[in-house]
Structure 1
Amino acid sequence: MKASLVKNSIINVCKAKKGTCLVLVIAIFGTVFASLVPPQVLKLVIDKNLVPKVPQGLLALALLYLGALLCIGLFDFTKEAVITVLGQTITKEIRSEMMDKLETIPASYFSSQNAGEIVSRFTNDVDSINAMFSSGIVGLAIDCFKIIGIVISIWLFSSQLGLIVLVLLPVIFLISRLFQKSMLKAQLENRRVIGRVNNHIGESIKNMLMIKSNSKERYMEETYTKYLQQNFKTIEKVNFFDSVFPPIIQITRALVIALIVVLSSKELHFLGITLGMVAASIDLVSNLFIPIENLGMELQNIQSSIAGSRRVDEFYREKEDDSKDTTITAKAILSQKTTANLVFDHVSFHYDKGVEILKDISLNIQDREKVTLVGRTGVGKSTLFKLVLGLLKPTKGSITINGVDVYAIPNSEKRKLFGYVDQGFQIIVGTIGEQISLKDPSITKEQIERALEVVDLTEYVHSLEKGIDTPVSDNSLFSQGQKQLLAIARAIVTDPPILLLDEITANLDSVTEAKLTAVLQKTSQEHTVLSISHRLSSLVDCDTMVILEKGKVKNSGSPQKLMEEDDWFRSHRELEKLTGR
């Protein structure tokens, strides 16, 4: 486990781009040195040309002044270009590391975290780390070097003036430190609120039809307004500190410049410096307060970056899933036997400790057996499917296929063992063929064509201009029933021994359901089928029905047996006959 993802990513990028880092260092020192030249030239122009009124190399000094400004621009351009390259490289490195981490996080993490929070870490937090370089640490380093150079230059003019500047610097530092702590707290709170806002927007768009059909627009609007108000308050805090800091610096600068003028006056002559030195000192002091003023913005960017990097490191320190056994392959599992037996051995599971969803489930599903899970909503049927697929790990017990724990099977092998179909069909960017293969290069065109033929979509797909190579850009190309058939084709294209069907006819009309039932009857002959049905008259003729109640197996057996022995089953079956549902 790495101690800090951000720190290691920065170190790795710097090691890989040593030459670029060297150019950045040269550009930084070049910018600092060049910025100190114009005030010195100004002193010479006044003392050697304007005061004695006898020009002494005025043209050369003018060219030197212009040359210094040109060097400042050149070094500054080089610095910004290098910072952009390094910043984007580091951003890419961090996001790649985070994506690798995402693949190792157990599925239970996504049940406890909302999508907006996760997306915010990948986008806003990583972008804030990039800002650390473009307008944070590098800018802070340049400004600190400028301050040191300016203090030395002023000290050479007048030790008294140098002391005044040195006394001023700790005051500015203490003010900056106070703002640093306050801004960090405000930034962290702002990150959390932004995550909630992003999640609400995503959920609203995803469930727009449901929101409109249930007239929940006002509720969603009020919730969104509440989140926006929270976001506004946190941004207000950040903006307050950001807006108060620069005026404080500007007022202090004006007072110091006024003090220099008074102390250098003919009446006091306290500093004992020439008119050229006074002009140069005022220029240097102005240049001194510009980097000090910038420190506020740079500190804010650094604090934002620290807040973002902490959240990224928190994500990276999330508990990882148990490592998969890479030696396990679907071919090896299925070669051990000619059958695919699925065994639930005293399986229990909970999301939150103390609240068990499933309790001591024991089932032995034989090869090509048809098993249907029934029970009230929330009883744990879909959770049981996630356990079968190895997305969740049982709290107790185990689920095995031919004696191999499904949770230990590499994800890359699971599609060859399980075909999963739920109520919806998630369209990806790609062609019809890629909707079925999910862009798996190991799946051939012949396998896709065979899957389409099984689900009776060959004629329709071939009627399209490009056949299976037709791009799918929206939902209008297929009806709801055809999407469910595509979902089945996606599930069976690898010819897995076990099919998992999760209430796939819940949103279909009776005609479409009948067609889907016929397709499933045909495909289920060669597979073990574990299905969830919202009705007891399961869409697939089953050998065994399992009734779940309060997370336990209440009863199981053939439909005929349950009609005779189970009152709950009998009453619900009779109710379905009366209502036709």
Structure 2
Amino acid sequence: MIKNSLVKRSVINVIKQNILLSGLLIFAVCGVVVSSLIPPQILKHIIDNNLVPEKGSGLFVLAIAYMAVLLFIGLFDFIKGAILTIIGQKIIKEIRLEMIHKLEKINALFFSYNESGAVVSRFTNDVEAVSSLFTGGIVGMMIDCFKIIGIIASIWMFSEKLGIVTLLLLPFIYGITRLFQKRMLKVQMENRVLVGKVNNHISESLKNIEMIKSCSKESYMENNYAEYLLENFKTVEKVNFYDSVFSPIIQLTRAVVIGFMVILSSGQLNYLGISLGMVAASIDLISNLFSPIENLGMELQSIQYAVSGIRRVNDFYNEPEDECKNNQIKADDVIQNREEINISFNDVAFNYEKDTDVLQGISLQIKPQEKVAFVGRTGVGKSTLFKLIMGLLKPAKGSITINGYDVYGIPNSEKRKIFGYVDQSFHMIKGTVAEQISLQDESITKEQICNALDFVGLADYVESLKNGIETEIAGDSLFSQGQKQLLSIARAIVTNPPILLLDEITANLDSITEEKIVSVLQKAGHAHTILSISHRLSSVVFSDTVVILENGRIRSIGSPETLLKNDDWYRKHAALERLTWG
């Protein structure tokens, strides 16, 4: 279906690793199909040879055989279901392991186009859909097709005329089934969308409850909720209508067909020329014919759904990967002397989409332990520039080097020893306070963690917790927003990297907390090269150099004092900020 198919390879691997299980599955499938055709034949013999007057005995043996075959049908069906479940879970495991391995190598550009929820759905919904293809879709369709063929062959053996009638009946039954299933699927999809709207509305209401109350928008939110519920109720009514109508129509069709067959076989007409036992067996077979035809419609639906999942999984697997890193480069090679860290931007250009440059012609030299702030309007490429500096993205043109080493070629495993990155929000992980800082890196010692906490001024607070740095984090209640930002700085500096990257870390803080953060960063500036993105010009006064970005280019560069004198944009925004913040 797609070149380099992850799904195909995973399925083949699972089958190769479970030859015995796969063989048992084939045996169970054959058993289900064959054994399901035997009861009508036994029923024919019971009636023709034992219940019709003046016939021989043997009813007890046939009754036992009939029940035994039904038992075998159930047994084979159980074995089939159990094996399909086991194989399905193994396929899911294989695919997800391959996908997580792929995720580690995938180009960072992928995450610029895909939200986290969309990526998670690839690992959950799409992989589950793939599993359903092999556990129910294809195997179920094969069984039902064989059952239909077997039933028609059995009926044909009784009477060619009845076999022709049965063949003519197939398109009619299938047409009715597909008509209802398509309509039900359409309504169910609408219902899923509306259920999502209802759930999302509840989530938004809870998240923004304070704003809703302060703006007196309770009635507005209630009316929207009522509207979503009404629309959802209408789709549920449609689903219930189709569900309630479909079953009686199928039952009525079955009754008409059986009645028609009985009339044709009656003594008055005797059109089919078959015995009473054959009539009973044919009724049983025709009754059983409806079930696999109904299942075929559902299985086709399932396969169509699964195929879309396969495509999405394979599309993910075929996403571009990071170019091979030079594993020979070590952090110690790049930073042989912490006091001689030179960062060079060499005519750097970058675009997310072809012919649409986000950055262009960026050339800049950053000296050892220099503090540089990047400022500019939202969307000028400041955060993109940081991703380029860390080697997460590759420039479309030019290069960024540290002491002559291209950052994109440095292995990701070495980068934490070179860069310390601080975002404007702190992302907690499951674990202790110490693990929030070490990120469960076993090479980071307890002494390093304590030193990092002491550096940012959180040592006393953490020590006051029940188990100190070994206190388990059970939520967001232990630390305030400002303390979380200090934790993020501790996480960044715990490996003592020579370069710190600060991405608008004071954006969501009050002025008092901001001053505390800035004082910590001033202390860090004595031993680190600090590159920062700031939306408040008041924060850049502690920087040696300010780089103003505009339209993807460097508009101006200089010290805060120089720019205040010579750059109109900087002077205007500094004055506006003083007026706003006081």
TM-score calculated relative to the size of structure 1: 0.88
Residues 500 and 528, structure 2, Cα contact 8 Å, conserved in 1: yes
Question: What residue number does 1:147 align with?
Answer: 148
Which amino acid counterpart does residue 334 of structure 2 have in structure 1? I
* Residue deviations 1:242-261 (CA, integer Å, cap 9, x gap): 88877765554333322321
2:269 paired residue number: 268
Question: C-alpha separation between the residues in 1 aligned to 2:102 and 2:223?
Answer: 36
C-alpha distance in 2, partners of 1:466/1:288? 68
**In the superposition, relative to structure 1, how do residues 198 and 461 fare at CA in structure 2: closer, same or farther (>3 Å)?**
farther
Alignment of 1:325-474 (within 5 A): 325-335=326-336, 339-474=340-475
Cα distance in 1 for residues equivalent to 2:575 and 2:30: 86
The answer for the alignment partner of 2:17 in structure 1 is: 16
Counterparts in 2 of 1:444 and 1:55: CA distance versus 1, 3 Å:
farther
Residue 98 (structure 2) pairs with residue 97 (structure 1): yes
**How far apart, in 2, do the equivalents of 1:188 and 1:251 lie?**
25
Partner of 2:163: 162
Question: Kindly tell me: are residues 175 and 264 of structure 1, through their superposed partners in 2, closer, same or farther at Cα, counting changes over 3 Å?
Answer: same
Structure 1 residue 57, shift from structure 2 partner:
1.5
**Worse-superposed segment, 8-17 or 569-578:** 569-578
Distance (Å, rounded) in 2 between the aligned partners of 1:487 and 1:544: 24
Q: Does residue 298 of structure 1 match 2:299?
A: yes
Question: Once structures 1 and 2 are overlaid, which stretch shifts more, 156-165 or 436-445?
Answer: 156-165
Identify the range of structure 1 (198-207 vs 538-547) with the bigger mean alpha-carbon deviation. 198-207
- 1:361-407 CA deviation, whole Å, 9 max, x = no partner? 11111111111112233332222212212233323222122222222
Gap change, CA 1:493 and 1:226, over 3 Å in 2 = farther
**Aligned partner letter, 1:537:** S
2:140 partner amino acid: G
Quick check: 1:328–1:410 contact (8 Å CA) kept in 2?
yes
2:339–2:369 contact (8 Å) kept in structure 1: no
8 A contact 1:43–1:276 mirrored in 2: yes
| Inter-CA distance 383–175: structure 2 relative to 1 (3 Å threshold) | same
User: Is the Cα–Cα contact under 8 Å of residues 173 and 290 in structure 2 kept in the other structure?
Assistant: no
* Residue 464 of structure 1, CA deviation: 1.2
CA contact (8 A) 1:44 1:276 kept: yes
Please say if residues 174 and 297 of structure 2, whose CA atoms lie closer than 8 Å, have aligned partners that are also in contact.
Answer: no
Structure-2 residue corresponding to 1:254: 255
| Cα pair distance change 1:483/1:426, threshold 3 Å | same
Report the Cα distance in structure 2 between the residues aligned to 1:173 and 1:470, rounded to whole angstroms.
63
SS of residue paired to 2:525: helix
Name whichever of 438-447 and 405-414 sits farther off. 405-414
- Residues 109 and 402 of structure 1: is their aligned pair in 2 closer, same or farther, counting only changes over 3 Å? same
Measure the CA separation in 2 of the matches of 1:205 and 1:545: 42
Which residue number corresponds to residue 58 of structure 2?
57
> Relative to 1, partners in 2 of residues 1:454 and 1:135: Cα closer, same or farther, differing over 3 Å?
same
1:563 alignment partner in structure 2: 564
Aligned amino acid, residue 102 of structure 2: K
Q: How big is the shift at 1:344?
A: 1.1
- Provide Cα deviations, 1:291-333, integer angstroms capped at 9, x if missing partner: 1122122222222212222222233333333333333322222
Which stretch shifts more, 494-503 or 146-155?
146-155
Q: Distance in 2 between matches of 1:11 and 1:183?
A: 36
Shift of 1:72: 1.2
Contact 1:373 1:530 in 2 (8 A): yes
Q: How far apart are the structure 1 equivalents of 2:195 and 2:333? A: 44
Q: Which moved more, 1:45-54 or 1:135-144?
A: 45-54
Counterparts in 2 of 1:228 and 1:311: CA distance versus 1, 3 Å = farther
Q: In the TM superposition, what is the alpha-carbon distance from 1:486 to its structure 2 partner?
A: 0.4
SS in structure 2 opposite 1:349?
Answer: strand
d(CA) in 2 for partners of 1:194 and 1:329? Answer: 53
Identical-residue share of aligned pairs (%): 58
Aligned to 1:7: 8
Contact 2:87 2:135 in 1 (8 A): no
Shift of 1:575: 5.0
Between 439-448 and 568-577, report the one with greater CA deviation.
568-577
Cα deviation 1:120-166 (Å, max 9, x = unaligned): 33222222222223432222111122222222222222232223323
Structure-1 separation of matches of 2:202 and 2:491 = 26
Q: CA offset at residue 283 of structure 1? A: 0.7
Distance 1:458 1:529, change over 3 A: same
Going from structure 1 to structure 2, the CA distance change for 1:578 and 1:274 (only over 3 Å counts) comes to closer
- Are 1:211 and 1:217, in contact at CA under 8 Å, matched by a contact in 2? no
**Structure 2 residue identity aligned to 1:273:** I
Alpha-carbon separation, structure 1, partners of 2:369 and 2:169: 84
Q: Which moved more, 1:370-379 or 1:86-95?
A: 370-379
Q: Which amino acid counterpart does residue 383 of structure 2 have in structure 1?
A: S
1:32 maps to 2:23: no
Distance between the aligned counterparts of 1:324 and 1:224, measured in 2?
52
Q: Which AA in structure 2 matches 1:157?
A: F
8 Å Cα contact 2:205/2:221 also seen in 1: no
Higher alpha-carbon deviation: 11-20 or 225-234: 225-234
Compute the displacement of 1:82 (Å).
0.6
Aligned: 1:502 with 2:518: no
The one-letter amino acid of 2:357's match is E
Shift of 1:58: 1.6
Per the TM alignment, residue 26 of structure 1 is displaced from its structure 2 partner at its CA by 1.1
What one-letter code is carried by the residue in structure 2 that aligns with 1:21? Answer: S
Deviation at 1:474, TM superposition (A): 1.1
* Pair 1:490–1:354, CA change in 2 (3 A): same
CA distance in 2, matches of 1:157, 1:58: 21
Q: 1:207 to 1:425 in 2, by over 3 A?
A: farther
Structure 1 consecutive aligned stretches of length 4 or more whose deviation exceeds 4 Å: 170-180, 182-252, 574-581
Q: How far apart are 1:22 and its partner, in Å?
A: 1.0
Question: Does the Cα contact within 8 Å between 1:517 and 1:540 map onto a contact in 2?
Answer: no
Amino acid at match of 1:144: C
Q: Structure 1 residues 520, 109: CA separation in 2 closer, same or farther (over 3 Å shift)?
A: same
Asked if structure 1 preserves the Cα contact closer than 8 Å seen for 2:422 and 2:489, the reply is yes
What TM-score does the superposition give when structure 2 sets the normalisation length? 0.88
Gaps of 5+ in 2: none
Are positions 1:79 and 2:80 aligned together? Answer: yes
Q: What is the DSSP-based 3-state SS (H/G/I as helix, E as strand, rest coil) of the residue aligned with 1:556?
A: strand
Cα gap change, 1:578 to 1:137, in 2 (>3 Å)? closer
Change (3 A) 1:360 1:242: farther
Q: Is the 8 A contact 1:500 1:529 kept in 2?
A: yes
Mapped contact 2:541–2:560 kept (Cα < 8 A): no
The aligned amino acid for 1:160 is: K
> How far off its partner does 1:338 sit?
5.9
CA RMSD of aligned residues (A): 3.7
- In 2, distance between residues paired with 1:229 and 1:353? 45
Distance 1:511 1:460 in 2: 18
Which segments of 5 or more consecutive residues in structure 1 lack a partner in the other structure? none
Which letter maps to 2:303?
I
Amino acid at match of 2:152: V
Structure 2 Cα separation of the partners of residues 522 and 359 of structure 1: 34
Equivalent pairs, count: 580
Cα separation, 2, equivalents of 1:186 and 1:16 = 39
Show the counterpart of 1:493: 494
CA 1:251–1:188: 2 relative to 1, 3 Å: closer
Deviation at 1:91, TM superposition (A): 1.5
- Preserved CA contact (<8 Å) 2:126 2:309: yes
